[in-house]
């Protein structure tokens, strides 16, 4: 079987201490990519790095950091460039969630979610743009079905994710002429610690077997990344299979 076109490519995956970020890292590792992983939880991030090496990553490095502060984004980018020279693939899998009706949600909570879900991806993408353009790379924004189908009780979250979708669409229009592809992924409810907390807040039983599995989302993302350069998948909507 021929090698994956991702073999030897360098991928920066944020949110790699979370369920989807870790699954994407492992899927890329299985295809021989070189990985630089970022996440907020040092212990879980180290588990992701170790698992990626076991799965076949050509190389795997990690930096635990809260990317909210502006300096943290610059430090992450500098470490990536020092270690690997830049990235061919940039996967934004980090995110923040909060729930509550508008009447009860202070503007500070909106600001928090915008900072993580929009500002961090914006700053990091902008910082790495020269290298992505030089390498004719790819950018993936792991978004949410809430960006497309907002509902009551998650206005701040849905707004931040809708803004992320707009960022991806505009970026794609700007970068396609340079050969850079941009993908937005809109997963439905995915089995994860985050969804367990969401179900707790909703007062509903958490049944992970009825939800999307992180590996399913990762498989779809990697399939899109492996497309030949004559094609681009722009929006990927994936939901749990109805049973």
Name the active-site residue from 97, 122, 157, 206: 157
Q: Write out the two tokens for 178.
A: 């340079």
Q: Are 157 and 107 in contact (CB under 8 A)?
A: no
- Residues recorded for the chain: 243
Q: Are 15 and 117 in contact (CB under 8 A)?
A: no
How far apart CA 8 and CA 240 sit, in angstroms, is 32
How far apart CA 181 and CA 200 sit, in angstroms, is 37
* DSSP assignment letter at 186: E
How far apart CA 17 and CA 19 sit, in angstroms, is 7
Active site residue 157: yes
Q: Are 118 and 166 in contact (CB under 8 A)?
A: no
Does the CA dihedral 9-12-17-20 come out positive or negative?
Answer: negative
Q: Write out the two tokens for 147.
A: 């960006």
How far apart CA 133 and CA 127 sit, in angstroms, is 12
Catalytic sites, residue numbers: 157
């Amino acid at each position: 079987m021929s090698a994956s076109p991702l073999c030897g490519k360098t991928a920066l995956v944020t949110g790699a201490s979370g369920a989807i970020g870790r699954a994407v890292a492992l899927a890329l590792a299985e295809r021989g990519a070189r990985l630089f992983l970022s996440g907020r939880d040092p212990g879980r991030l180290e588990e992701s790095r170790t698992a990626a090496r076991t799965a076949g990553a050509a190389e795997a490095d990690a930096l635990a950091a809260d990317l909210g502060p502006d300096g943290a984004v610059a430090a992450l980018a500098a470490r990536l460039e020092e270690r690997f020279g830049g990235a061919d693939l940039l996967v934004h899998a980090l995110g923040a969630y909060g729930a509550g009706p508008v009447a009860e949600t202070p503007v500070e909570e909106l600001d928090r979610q915008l900072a993580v879900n929009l500002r961090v991806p914006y700053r990091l993408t902008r910082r790495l743009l020269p290298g992505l353009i030089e390498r004719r790379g790819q950018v993936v924004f792991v978004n949410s079905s809430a960006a497309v189908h907002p509902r009551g009780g998650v206005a701040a979250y849905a707004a931040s994710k809708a803004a992320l979708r707009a960022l991806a669409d505009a970026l794609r229009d700007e970068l396609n002429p340079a050969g850079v592809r941009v993908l937005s992924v809109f997963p439905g409810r995915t089995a994860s610690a985050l969804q367990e907390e969401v179900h707790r807040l909703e007062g509903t039983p958490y049944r992970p077997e009825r939800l999307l599995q992180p590996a399913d989302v990762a498989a779809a993302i990697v399939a899109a990344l492996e497309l030949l350069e004559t094609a681009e998948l722009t929006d990927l909507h994936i939901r749990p299979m109805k049973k």
